[in-house]
């Protein structure tokens, strides 16, 4: 544990989990760096993580939750005020997956020891482009090395080693988190008993690559971007907001947008015939963009979308053949897609499940009917909770 670790007590009343710790742990140093997929080395690396519940004496009840693009380690329960913790990115709020994690909930913290760590390159406490580069004494910016989903799994496995955990009862995630759950099953097959992959396939589509490219272009076009060196000037807020607006469209389904906004005008009965906000959907996107820049770092956005681009399980583990890649898997796998998800569409999720089953390995595939698009993995907590609960229990 490093000197800057800031453990704190859980709030008295609000904490439905009963036990939450946010820690910051040094898992790599300059002498013992992380060796990255890109060939680069990185150290020191500090990891911000939270845990819930208690590790059993024989350490066989650990469940790792992997977060998606803009997530963080705070997956359940309530945080203290940022003023008392020094974590300025955060607001007092429940964890991002609080409905399914806690005592008696789908991922039952009376049974399981739940861990969630902020990923390398993200801006919520783990080492990232906004961290100080010991070589220069300045923030890394674009000198930060590229990170991949595999690197995140390596980082997480180092964290687990520090916690004394050799084997996970389960690894669970949605979207980019689902790809981490898959990568765990592929790269550390003997360390995982169960893997739950939600709203994720073995790789992003060409269309998905294209959306990410446009988002990054918006950021890098922003005159305040300054080649990633903006930590002491105005950050590229407009560019990051535009990138987030675009990404949000891909998280919602066409039908959900139709139901939620349709073509309704915003606070008017006739259009103003101008370029300010006219439609409700424009107002929604504008809000999403502007609120995102208050809580996210543009450089982190660049690095994490690149990690999303690069991931290709078939390429990494099967020479391009997904069935061959999946022959490595030893855990039971559950793949869950959502009918209106068009970022990681059901068909592609099913292809992953099929590739596993072609190896005569145990796999459950469920397509959940939902209007919520890609966001469904966060929104359809009842259906997802039920599926996870029974899968975690099964023997």
Site for a copy of itself in 93-152 (CB under 8 A): 142, 145-146
CB of 200 to a copy of itself, least distance (A): 15
Site for a copy of itself in 359-378 (CB under 8 A): none
> Which member of 55, 133, 231, 312 binds a copy of itself (CB under 8 A)?
312
Neighbours of 366 (CB within 10 A): 18
CB of 225 to a copy of itself, least distance (A): 11
> Which member of 34, 45, 186, 302 binds a copy of itself (CB under 8 A)?
302
Site for a copy of itself in 267-286 (CB under 8 A): 271, 273-275, 278-279, 281-282, 285-286
Angle CA 212–170–54, to nearest 5: 115
What distance in Å separates the CA atoms of residue 15 and residue 58, rounded to the nearest whole number?
A: 27
> Which of 169, 216 has the CB closer to a copy of itself?
216
- Binding pattern to a copy of itself, positions 223-262, x when CB under 8 A? x--------------xx-xx--xx--x--x-x--xx-xxx
Stretch that binds a copy of itself, among 63-71, 82-90, 219-227, 351-359 (CB under 8 A): 219-227
> Which of 90, 244 has the CB closer to a copy of itself?
244
| CA 241, chain centre distance (Å) | 19
Residue 213 interacting with a copy of itself (CB under 8 A): yes
Strands (E), the chain: 21-28, 34-35, 41-42, 45-52, 62-66, 101-102, 107-108, 113-117, 132-133, 138-139, 168-174, 192-198, 332-338, 363-368
> Which of 51, 179 has the CB closer to a copy of itself?
179
Neighbours of 109 (CB within 10 A): 24
**Strand bridging mode 168-174 / 62-66:** parallel
CA-CA-CA-CA torsion sign (47, 227, 243, 199): negative
> Which member of 205, 330, 339, 367 binds a copy of itself (CB under 8 A)?
205
What distance in Å separates the CA atoms of residue 99 and residue 102, rounded to the nearest whole number?
A: 8
Single out the residue of 144, 133, 48 nearest to residue 90, CA to CA.
48
- Binding pattern to a copy of itself, positions 18-57, x when CB under 8 A? -------------------xx-x-----------------
> Which of 51, 340 has the CB closer to a copy of itself?
340
Rounded to a whole number, what is the distance in angstroms from the first to the last CA of the chain?
Answer: 36
Active site positions, annotated: 175, 341, 374
| CA 24, chain centre distance (Å) | 18
Instruction: Give residues with Cβ within 8 angstroms of 233, minimum separation 6.
Output: 224, 226
> Which member of 5, 29, 56, 221 binds a copy of itself (CB under 8 A)?
221
Single out the residue of 209, 374, 218 nearest to residue 307, CA to CA.
209
> Which member of 55, 209, 323, 383 binds a copy of itself (CB under 8 A)?
209
**23: helix, strand or coil:** strand
> Which of 177, 239 has the CB closer to a copy of itself?
239
Instruction: Give residues with Cβ within 8 angstroms of 336, minimum separation 6.
Output: 196, 197, 198, 199, 349, 365, 366, 367, 368, 377, 384, 387
CA distances from 263 to 253, 258, 270, 277, 279 (A): 15, 8, 12, 12, 6
Neighbours of 166 (CB within 10 A): 12
> Which member of 217, 327, 330, 389 binds a copy of itself (CB under 8 A)?
217
| Binding residue count for a copy of itself, defined by CB under 8 A | 56
What distance in Å separates the CA atoms of residue 351 and residue 205, rounded to the nearest whole number?
A: 13
Site for a copy of itself in 332-361 (CB under 8 A): 342, 345
Stretch that binds a copy of itself, among 12-20, 60-68, 110-118, 204-212 (CB under 8 A): 204-212
> Which of 270, 393 has the CB closer to a copy of itself?
270
CB of 156 to a copy of itself, least distance (A): 20
> Which of 59, 306 has the CB closer to a copy of itself?
306
Give the residues lining the site for a copy of itself (CB under 8 A): 37-38, 40, 142, 145-146, 203-207, 209-211, 213-214, 216-218, 220-223, 238-239, 241-242, 245-246, 249, 252, 254, 257-258, 260-263, 271, 273-275, 278-279, 281-282, 285-286, 289, 302, 306, 309-310, 312, 342, 345
């Amino acid at each position: 544990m490093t000197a800057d670790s800031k453990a704190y007590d859980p709030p008295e009343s609000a904490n439905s989990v009963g036990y939450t710790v946010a820690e910051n742990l040094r898992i790599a140093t300059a002498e013992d760096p992380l060796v990255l997929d890109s060939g680069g080395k990185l150290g020191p690396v500090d990891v911000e993580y939270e845990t819930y519940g208690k590790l059993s004496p024989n350490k066989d009840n650990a469940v790792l939750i992997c977060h998606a693009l803009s997530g963080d380690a705070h997956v359940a329960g309530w945080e203290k005020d940022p003023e008392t913790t020094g974590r300025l990115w955060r607001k007092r709020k429940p964890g991002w997956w609080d409905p399914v994690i806690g005592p008696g909930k789908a991922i039952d913290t009376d049974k399981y020891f739940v861990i969630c760590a902020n990923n390398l390159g993200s801006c919520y406490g783990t080492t990232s482009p906004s961290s100080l580069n010991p070589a220069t004494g300045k923030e890394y910016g674009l000198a930060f090395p590229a990170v991949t989903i595999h690197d995140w799994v390596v980082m997480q496995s180092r964290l687990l080693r520090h916690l004394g955990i050799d084997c996970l009862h389960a690894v669970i995630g949605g979207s980019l988190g689902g790809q981490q759950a898959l990568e765990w099953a592929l790269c550390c097959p003997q360390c995982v008993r169960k893997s739950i992959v939600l709203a994720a396939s073995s790789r992003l589509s060409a269309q998905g690559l294209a959306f990410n490219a446009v988002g990054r272009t918006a950021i890098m076009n922003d005159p305040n971007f300054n080649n990633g060196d903006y930590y002491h000037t105005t950050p590229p807020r407009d560019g990051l907001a535009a990138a987030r607006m675009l990404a949000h469209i891909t998280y919602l389904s066409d039908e959900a947008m139709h139901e939620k906004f349709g073509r309704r005008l915003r606070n008017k009965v006739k259009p103003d015939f101008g370029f300010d906000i006219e439609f409700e959907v424009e107002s929604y996107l504008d809000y999403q963009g502007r609120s995102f820049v208050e809580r996210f770092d543009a450089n982190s956005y660049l690095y994490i979308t690149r990690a999303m681009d690069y991931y290709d399980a078939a390429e990494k583990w099967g020479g391009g053949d997904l069935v061959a890649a999946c022959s490595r898997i030893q855990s039971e796998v559950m793949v869950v897609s959502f009918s209106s998800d068009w970022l990681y569409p059901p068909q592609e999720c099913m292809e992953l499940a099929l590739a596993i089953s072609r190896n005569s390995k145990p796999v459950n595939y469920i397509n959940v009917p939902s209007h919520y698009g890609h966001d469904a993995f966060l929104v359809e907590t009842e259906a997802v909770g039920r599926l996870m609960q029974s899968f975690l229990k099964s023997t």
